[in-house]
Amino acid sequence: MLKFSLLISLFFLSTVLSFAQNEKINNYISVADTLTKTALRDRKGYDWLKELCEIGPRLSGSENSLKAIFWAENKMKQLGFDSVWLQPVMVPHWERGEKEFCAVYNGNNFVKELNILALGGSISTDKNGITANVIEVKSFDELKQKSSDVKGKIVFFSRPIDQGLINTFSGYGSAVDQRVYGAIEAAKYGAVGVVIRSVTTKYDNVPHTGVMLYADSLPRIPAAAIGYLDSDFLSEQLKINPELLLKLRLNCRTFEDAPSFNVIGEIKGTQLPDEVIVVGGHFDSWDVGCGAHDDGAGCIQSMEVLDLFKRLHIKPKRTIRCVLFINEENGSRGGIEYGKFALSSSEKHIAAIEADRGAFTPVGFYVDSDSLTIDKISRWLPVFEKASIEWIKKGGSGVDVSKIKNAKALLGFVPDDQRYMDLHHSANDVFEEVHPREFELGTAAMAVMVYLLSEEGL
């Protein structure tokens, strides 16, 4: 009889707990629905992104980057965040200078001018430029095989993104080594310059820049990216005449490091204020276009997450902190500086979310954490569906939040990526390429994640 009574009690308790859990999930779904509808109807963040983009490109160390930083600080204060502050960071200062020039010649005969952009951090040529024969390679292995033919030439790395890969970030990874390390590898064999096929998924002629590196032990040679269609042209012409000449003139310059800032704003938690959830993106952009998708959108979406809580009078249990990291594109010093702060702080960083994949339709979140934490977040999928999120997977987070070494979980917000590489690091990355509904759905998706992390913890 006692055993039967115990079974009845356990059944009753299980039913009560199940009912309570279902009621809690239904409440979360209702909040997620409200967050999403409010973001889509109000479109406030989308309007702020337009304001930001009107400032122009925001390369670290530039006057525009400081204008944007002070704009964001003022905006956060206007929105009434509980605390707003600037975190000092010294950043690289590189300028492109006057428009680059690159042209193909057959002997003394002009053939065609090519669309190019100096790679970020490149040295300049002298005022007359350099003129040399071109050697085309697809990989560092091929460069090594042809090393005896490289001296005194311009190396043309022509390997495109692998268009067969569904994930365009994987495609990007399959080609970007040429941009980052091409000048180092070419200098080993005596090259006088480097040009690369732009790392893009779009068959147009808009060149894409990005960071490149030098080795202190090797000569520094100028490096530039060529538009995709002009890369095809150069490759075909070299098949016809391997003795073609390329004239390259770059006017870029590196200055001393410049003072800059991370922009930080937060809403204090009502119950566990020393437990922090970070949401953010990188506030710098390359110096062409206006960095609308990369990463103005992620930054403004992060700001709007906090504003949605204020608009809807949602009082988070834990502190929600928006961090706009400076200098991700060519140094990651903002992320490094915040990571040092997080390690030295008495606060506990529960989670950090990075938005740096553009403002397209949200599809999922990557989570860098242990399996139990990932399983817990995955159980919230019925709530996330209200904001168009389809999956939670183990994976990488982002360059900046990865510097927060003491967080329980690092998350990467993932929109659909099929068009991202068409735009990033190029003059294509403008406000007009951002769709308001896609943008605001992204804001809502991050707001729902932040809300659940605040309510449930990890």
- Structure-token pair, residue 444: 């809502």
Annotated active-site residue 328? The verdict is yes
Of 311, 20, 416, the closest CA to residue 12 belongs to: 20
Closest by CA position to 287, among listed 194, 206, 209, 355: 209
Burial class of residue 268, CB neighbours in 10 A (0-12, 13-18, 19+): middle
Which of 266, 304, 328, 438 is flagged as catalytic? Answer: 328
| Torsion angles phi and psi, residue 25, rounded to 5 | -60, -40
Distance of alpha carbon 286 from alpha carbon 56, whole angstroms: 10
Task: Using CA atoms of 129, 131, 137, 141 in order, give the dihedral in degrees to the nearest 10.
Answer: -80
According to DSSP, residue 230 is labeled H
Residue spans of alpha helices (H) in 56-199: 63-78, 140-145, 168-173, 177-187
Cis peptide before 287 (omega within 30 of 0): no
d(CA 236, CA 249): 22
Of 53, 106, 99, nearest to 299 (Cα)?
Answer: 53
Q: What is the set of active-site residues? A: 328
